[in-house]
Amino acid sequence: MGGRIGNLSDLFSNERAVLIVFVVFVLLTAFTGGGSRSDIDGLLILRPAAVLVCGYALVVHGRSCVQKVKLPLAVVLALMALCLLHLIPLPPAIWTSLPGREAIVELSGALGMSDVWRPLSLDTNRTWNSFFALFVPLAAILIIAGVSEKQRHLVFSLLFCVALISLALGVMQLIGSRQLYLYEITNIGRPVGLFSNRNHQAVLLAWMIPASVWLAAQWLGRNQVSTSTYLGLAFLYLLIIFLIFLNGSRAGFLLVLPATAMAVWLAGVLFKRDISDKGKAHERRLRVLKYAGIGVGALLLVFAVALLTADRQTALSRIFEGNIDADQRAELLPLFWQMLGDFFPWGSGMGSFESVYRTYESVEMLSTRYLNQAHNDLAQILIEGGAPALLLIFTVAVWFVRRAWAVLREPSNRIKADGVFFGGSILLWLLASLADYPLRAPLSAVFVAILSVEFARLAGHAKSEGLAARSTR
């Protein structure tokens, strides 16, 4: 009996089993976690599954695995702890002294409710929602901690396949019907793919640009990269640009520039040996690539002109035609600054932005559209989390810069390339978060959680190698 239990434990804890659980979890997130709203039906399946994956990972992984992902794990746990702290009822003497509660204190006094204990959060339901939402990235961090470095290319191949599915679904949505959209509240007529929001899809498409180069190097190696590989990457790049243009996301369109710069740098480093080959084959390859580049550039130019003169509103036309100063998001920045000052240093409570914003919304701001998120995650998390959130952001920023510097000083081009890909990919999502809220969609959160784990592992490896090298001098 004991032997059977031991065999069963080994069966569920080996690398293949962990990889299978990871694949199932990512695919489940892909088809149920493309939206940020709390009333999405798929979350009834995804969040309990995330809790189960967390439990499974804690059982099968040793402490050494978790040690390698300390900072990404600590960030998620700190956010969860902040949510729970915001839910603890406070005595009236403390609660009434919190900034931003003056109107409620006055109303409570008029109603004879001055002695009621209340939590810091001004919307406990949404704070609970924020807490349970964090189980999805937490599950991704814990389960990926046990995946070996040798299986890294399989992990990112799966993520890239999910991105390809989203891309293909976006193409079909352009020519298909309403049934191809996965969410009731979405951008109908736009290629949103697996997401409910076109901006979130655009960020994923932009990420595919450097990811395609990095994965090509992982699978093919430097010496096996051929002309067909370059042409395939060029075709994919053109298709991504096409979809981002039609998507209508200005943020996604602007992210194409840093994503392309990353891809070019990665190609120069990872394919360097292949490009440096000499002979007639190399000359023919360069000639083909030159003509292919000219052709792609010409197609992009023609396509851009066609889009600017077309009736459909695109990302490019929105940049040139839209008045950013008149955009609601830009107009709201002074209001967000006021909200931040009113609730600092303790915040309004994690997840409470929508409810709090309604108390600040003026008659002039009322419209048929509603603001469920700030469309600026940096401002929103500071409004909701106050000084503790600011301290967490500062700590993560310092860690990221120090680790990035350590990776970039590595003599190994492979480590540098991995660092640029992992760190640069994280920055793409963070840049998008300054104008939207992509990380509040579970699918995007899983992508960034996995990238953060790999960046932390790589940075830790680079740091340990640097210490070892200095100790031998």
Measured distance CA(58)–CA(61) in Å, rounded: 6
Contact 183, 196 (CB under 8 A): yes
Q: Which two tokens stand for residue 441?
A: 């969609």
Contact 307, 248 (CB under 8 A): no
pLDDT in tens, the chain (473 residues): 444 444 444 545 577 888 899 999 999 999 999 998 888 999 999 999 999 999 998 888 766 667 778 889 999 999 999 999 999 999 988 988 899 888 888 887 777 777 889 999 999 999 999 999 999 999 999 999 877 777 777 899 999 999 999 999 998 998 877 888 999 888 888 889 999 999 999 999 999 999 999 998 888 765 566 777 778 888 888 889 888 888 888 888 889 999 999 998 998 888 865 444 445 555 555 555 555 555 555 555 555 555 544 445 544 444 445 544 445 666 788 889 999 999 999 999 999 998 899 888 776 666 656 677 888 999 999 999 999 999 999 999 999 999 889 888 888 888 899 999 999 999 999 999 998 899 999 999 999 999 999 998 886 665 555 444 444 44
Q: DSSP string of 378-436?
A: HHHHHHHHHHHHHHHHHHHHHHHHHHHHHHHT-S-HHHHHHHHHHHHHHHHHHHHTTTS
Measured distance CA(180)–CA(50) in Å, rounded: 26
Q: Which two tokens stand for residue 470?
A: 């200095």
pTM value is: 0.86
The greatest distance separating any two alpha carbons of the chain, rounded to the nearest whole angstrom, comes to 90
Burial 200-214 (b: 16+ CB within 10 A, else e): bbbbbbbbbbbbbbb
CA separation, residue 293 to residues 159, 204, 238, 284 (Å): 28, 24, 11, 14
Contact 217, 266 (CB under 8 A): yes
Measured distance CA(442)–CA(50) in Å, rounded: 11
Q: Which two tokens stand for residue 77?
A: 């746990």
How many residues would you count in the chain? Answer: 473
Cβ of 322: how many Cβ atoms within 10 Å?
A: 12
